[in-house]
Amino acid sequence: MSSTASPKRVAIIGGGILGVSTAVHLLRQGASVVLLTERGLASEATGRSLSWLNSAGERSTPYHLLRLAGVDRYRTLFAADPGREWLQFGGGLMWNAAGQQAATEARHAYEKSVGYDSRLLAPEEIAAATSGIDAAAVPDIAIFNPGEGWVSLPDLVEFLMEEFHARGGQLVLNAGKTSVTVHGGRATGVETAAGETYQADAVLVACGAATPSVVAPLGVEIPNGSPVSMLVLTKPVDHEVKAVMNTPRAAVRPNPRNTFALDHDWYEDHITEHPDGTFSIPDGVVQELADEASKLIAGNPDLKPASWKIGYKPIPGDGEPVLGELGQVPGCFVAFTHSGATLGLIAGELLSDEIMSGNKHPMLAAFRPDRFA
């Protein structure tokens, strides 16, 4: 008779970066993992994230430190193969609208005060710091953060899923809306829309903006501040842009195969949500965003949208991540955050450690869901 203990069984709801990352980290520690998606992998926020890797600007100290750790894990992955087209570190460049130089200077001063690599540049100094930018688009000064980077999350999910399958993870696609099952006050598994059940010792709910609605039937309230957003991918164009740009009318990052990823928030009022849960936006507004992005790029190339996706951008009600076990429902964990890209690897690592060991990690202390109880 074998005395070997059975592996811990974990069910994960959500096929985005947080769910996939946690699944792979759990498998590395010997867990048995089933990953369930409502539709496909990276079909929601992960598939339409600008995925700018940073901790720029001002935020709480615990959040800043967690984001720095998140960027560090990407740097480790990057160092293993700098040739990966979907993960690069070319810095970040931001500027405010004309007449807001004082705000830009204040942001720079704050970043310097916490040791964040931040450089204040006049337009004529940008070319020496990073390539491919039309300096004429900068009204007065810009901030360059050389330590920042970007990742194409769908490519990262595909990369991680290779390890997921190699380590024996179970993937259930198109499971529909999945619920957490509870017995004796403790999470015991999940049930799909079709009534299929998967028993588990622990459950992770990591389904983006839908996370609060999934845990609500458990008597858990997590405020949801998720707005509707859009990500546009352009057709290929020759360019030399390396940095992510965050500007008054367009946020732009390089994307694999000489394309760009674009987003912003000025066009949110132009987005229509339909009764069936789909979204639409006038084609002219999408092209307007592409035109705004073109103004930022040297040579002002004619950018043409190739595709765009619209949906809810996950943002907890107080803006801070929600990570960890539900106090009201032991065995049920959540991962709900605006910074899913930056935190993708580190959150998966820390959550898997907590699930496997039962020990709470101090870096997640400020982000526990019980703060809303």
| Per-domain residue ranges of the chain | 9-47+154-222+317-372, 92-146+227-312
- pLDDT tens, the chain, 373 aa long: 444 567 999 999 999 999 999 999 999 999 999 999 999 999 999 999 999 999 999 999 999 999 999 999 999 999 999 999 999 999 999 999 999 999 999 999 999 999 999 999 999 999 999 999 999 999 999 999 999 999 999 999 999 999 999 999 999 999 999 999 999 999 999 999 999 999 999 999 999 999 999 999 999 999 999 999 999 999 999 999 999 999 999 999 999 999 999 999 999 999 999 999 999 999 999 999 999 999 999 999 999 999 999 999 999 999 999 999 999 999 999 999 999 999 999 999 999 999 999 999 999 999 999 999 8
Could you tell me which residues are beta bridge partners of residue 309? Answer: 231
Under a CB-based contact definition with an 8 Å cutoff, are residues 56 and 146 in contact?
A: no
Tokens describing residue 122: 């006049």
Under a CB-based contact definition with an 8 Å cutoff, are residues 141 and 95 in contact?
A: yes
pLDDT digits (tens, 9 = 90+) for 311-339: 999 999 999 999 999 999 999 999 999 99
CATH number of this structure's domain 92-146+227-312: 3.30.9.10
* Rounded Cα gap, residues 329 and 26, in angstroms: 20
pLDDT digits (tens, 9 = 90+) for 243-270: 999 999 999 999 999 999 999 999 999 9
From the options 3.30.300.130, 3.40.630.10, 3.50.50.60, 3.90.280.10, give the CATH code of 9-47+154-222+317-372. 3.50.50.60
Picking from 340, 150, 345, the residue whose alpha carbon sits closest to that of residue 252 is 150
* Rounded Cα gap, residues 46 and 18, in angstroms: 9
